[in-house]
Homo-oligomer: A and B are copies of this chain.
Amino acid sequence: MKRVTINDVALRSGVSKSTVSHVINQTRFVEEQTRLKVLQTIKDLNYRPSSIARSLVSQRTGTAGLLISDVGNPFYHEVILGVEDVALANDYSLFLCNTGYDLDRGMKFIHSLIDRSVDGILFMSSSMNVEMLDEVYRNNIKAVVLDWGGTDVSQLASTITIDFNTGICEAVQHLVSLGHTRIAFAGGPEGLWTANIRTQAFLNAISQCQPAVEGIVIPHGNLRIEGGYKAFDALSNLSPRPQAVIAANDLTALGLMWAARNAGFNLPRDLSIVGLDDIDLASRVTPALTTITLPRFEIGRLAMQELLALIREPEQTKSNHVVETYLTVRESTTAAPITV
């Protein structure tokens, strides 16, 4: 049960290895008759070239690493699909590297990817650092970094940043058009960059888009459902209570929603809620969640496309893409009660 090699094909078709190779890769002219014979033999023997051997000579593997904090995070789900979509279409295979928010584990993965000579690495994990990027760069491996809050890495990699301002601005305008004048924002954990950037975008949106509106930040969330419960308590204690709230992510929004209902609220009448992320669940709860959508599938595609560009045109300068967010209106927002 030995592997069929190019030699077997050559021998069986009475030609040399190089002819077989050229037939396969269409890399020089081969007489039609011999070409057909070779092709037939390949079929007969069910021959498939070893990409290992190919990689050794071509110095390219057709593989990339996908460094990600947590596959289970609904945010990444469609991002991964987008990445994979482009990868598959370009005959690239992806190594899954789930850091679990652990830097050491991340470094282990990076080394393993370097050893395996991947052509590129997609950094989609907050649990990365410049050291990793440096090491990757020194090994001449291309990298694309998604929405990282750390120091400037544009010398080492291409980057993709998500612009929360556009979406949050739309959300604020939407709420204002519904008559809301006090809008709360249920933020994430204080130390977390990905959370801070969202809170900041909210404050920007208020001052830039609707300076007349009063924006109230409810801090210390945790970007999970329980955080939404707590945010609801905090919100309830405000006086006067805001009738509209934008959450730092959809899970927080769902937590708010469920806590509000448990407190006897009629939704959306008593409280307009806007999420952020547009996870699967968002459109499937009742009332369906109005939320700020991140085009995640497109982000994934873009990231992989950029990586391929970097790999294929080594001279190409690294780019910094910005992806905009936008509001998706569903049922969880409604007109503010009329104040008499």
Contacts and interface: CB of A to CB of B under 8 A. Distances in A.
Interface of A: 1, 3, 46, 48-53, 55-56, 59, 61, 63, 66, 71-72, 74, 77-78, 80-81, 84, 88, 91, 93-96, 98, 100, 105, 108-109, 111-117, 138-140, 224-226, 258, 261-262, 280-281, 284-286
Among A74, A93, A261, A284, which residue has the most Cβ atoms of chain B within 10 A?
A93
A112 B96 contact: no
Given A51-B116, A72-B78, A224-B284, 8 more contacts: A46-B138, A51-B115, A71-B81, A84-B96, A91-B112, A93-B113, A93-B116, A258-B285
Contacts of A261: 261
A47 to B, nearest CB: 11
Copies in the complex: 2
B95 A108 contact: no
Sorted nearest first, the 3 A-B pairs with minimum C-beta distance are: A72-B77, A96-B96, A51-B115
Nearest to A61: B52
Given A61-B52, A80-B98, A98-B80, A112 B140 contact: no
Nearest to A138: B46
Contacts of A84: 96, 98
A63 to B, nearest CB: 8
Given A52-B117, A258-B285, A93 B81 contact: no
A40 to B, nearest CB: 19
A56 B52 contact: yes
28 contacts: A3-B59, A46-B138, A48-B111, A48-B115, A49-B115, A50-B117, A52-B52, A52-B55, A52-B116, A63-B95, A63-B116, A71-B71, A71-B77, A72-B74, A72-B77, A72-B80, A80-B98, A81-B98, A81-B100, A88-B108, A93-B112, A93-B116, A94-B95, A95-B96, A96-B96, A224-B284, A225-B281, A258-B286
A59 B96 CA distance: 22
A258 B284 CA distance: 11
Nearest to A111: B48
B98 A95 contact: no
Given A112-B93, A115-B51, A71 B80 contact: yes
Contacts of A98: 80-81, 84
A72 B116 contact: no
Nearest to A117: B52
A197 to B, nearest CB: 24
